[in-house]
Structure 1
């Protein structure tokens, strides 16, 4: 992994994982102590993490007092030597949001959350990323500023995403299954698409998530169909 690869490694980690460890600063006794908790995460097209939090949770009380937080994305699962694997800590400020598109992106990533997302004591939060600290393995360590983490942008894709995902799941479930089994090497039936961004697509099957990257980033929403068809062709060409 070169220095130039590190920002993309961080973006890939954030998009591959559907959960993270959230660290906040407790406002009440024991005030001032760091507090870590497990949260479900979705990541927007601009790499902003999206959270759904309960008002009763300690981390939510902490965020209301001080929005500075960090999220640890751990990509070392399943490795014989975890310390050789990548993990990234993202620092930023969390704020409550009322954005229907971000809510929809989170719920597509975590469909079971729809059971409680509408409760009065739950709300969505968006993290504005300030910087990230990547540990990519032994000796592969670097602070990365937010400007370096900005992903490629595809004109109109964020607005078209919900329709693309709905169409793929309704009319091309066989293609999604090929993506998962042939191109990613995942087992089982029933994979669905939960998101598409300029750098790839997100899939889910029950409690399992998967990420499939495009060969080249999309530059506009109109390029999505061509890229998805090309992935099907590649999958069908495999034994």
Structure 2
């Protein structure tokens, strides 16, 4: 697979993860902890961190860190699980960027609204420097930053159109969102809503449950998002094995 395709594979895994392992260090001593990331439109991992936590103290002193995102293994051997390690530099998100990026993080972790505004919590971002993609057992590829990250022009175009896309789809195409959630992704029936879109996929939510739909291929504009949503809704409606619970 070409590096462009491997980059997309890695992004799908990173954007779809609801948890990751954060590796930090303090005075040369490595430390690992569980975090709940989301991704900015440009793929930069976002973390809501408490100033009381060990890893936050580490990052303030030494911003170099790594994040391990792990998928589902193919069988009983954990080594068959796809995984991505992103290394980079962590930084607190500047105040001007916090509202938009915090909303994006909460769209991925809506349960955290209960504590997200506590004074000891702050939004952090990891600026990637590179990545290692392990597609499964003995399938490792080191990805340069240019191969890992989505196209910056496409990121900007889709981000600018996101709010209008969400409003339009949720207001006029709730049936399509339901078809994707229930028919394609196997969720139960409910008032599912589209909560985020990016170049690599979208998020759907019902109360505190969030589903990730990865596009079949990266998109570069609102038309590409529309085409992928239509494709997914059609597949959901035509799925003979779709979830029929609560009907």
Q: TM-score range by the shorter chain?
A: 0.7 to 0.9
The secondary structure found in structure 2 opposite 1:15 is: helix
Partner of 1:231: 232
1:121-171: CA deviations, max 9, x gaps? 110011100011122112211211111112132543213324433543455
- Bigger shift: residues 106-115 or 166-175: 166-175
Q: Does 2:54 align with 1:58? A: yes
Q: Is 1:74–2:75 an aligned residue pair?
A: no
Secondary structure of 2:125's aligned partner = strand
Q: Equivalent residues in 2 for 1:145-156 (5 A)?
A: 145-152=144-151, 153-156=154-157
The 3-state SS of whatever aligns with 1:156 is helix
Which 10-residue stretch deviates more, 68-77 or 125-134? 68-77
| 1:123 equivalent in structure 2 | 122
Gaps of 5+ in 1: none
Q: How far apart, in 1, do the equivalents of 2:162 and 2:75 lie?
A: 33
Identify which range, 48-57 or 160-169, moves more after superposition. Answer: 160-169
* CA RMSD after TM alignment: 2.3
Structure 1: 4+ residue segments shifted above 4 A: 205-209
Work out the number of aligned pairs and report it: 233
Distance 1:81 1:3 in 2: 27
Q: Please say if residues 71 and 91 of structure 1, whose CA atoms lie closer than 8 Å, have aligned partners that are also in contact.
A: yes
For residues 187-219 of structure 1, what are the alpha-carbon distances to aligned partners after superposition, in whole Å with 9 as ceiling and x for unaligned?
312344331112221234566543323334322
Is this contact kept in 2: 1:67–1:93, CA < 8 A? yes
Q: Which residue of 2 aligns with 1:8?
A: 8
Instruction: Report if the CA contact (8 A) 1:18-1:209 is conserved.
Output: no
**Structure 2 residues without counterparts, runs of 5 or longer:** 241-247
Deviations 1:55-89 (A, max 9, x none): 01000000000111110101135842221120111
Cα 1:73/1:33, change in 2 over 3 Å? same
State the match for 2:214 in structure 1.
213
Alpha carbons of 1:171 and 1:57: their partners in 2 closer, same or farther (altered >3 Å)?
A: farther
TM-score (norm 1): 0.86
Distance in 1, Cα, partners of 2:206 & 2:74:
19
Matches within 5 A, 1:1-239: 2-4=1-3, 5-26=5-26, 31-76=27-72, 79-97=75-93, 98=95, 99=97, 100-152=99-151, 153-184=154-185, 186-190=186-190, 191-205=192-206, 209-239=210-240
Aligned residue for 1:203, secondary structure, equals: strand
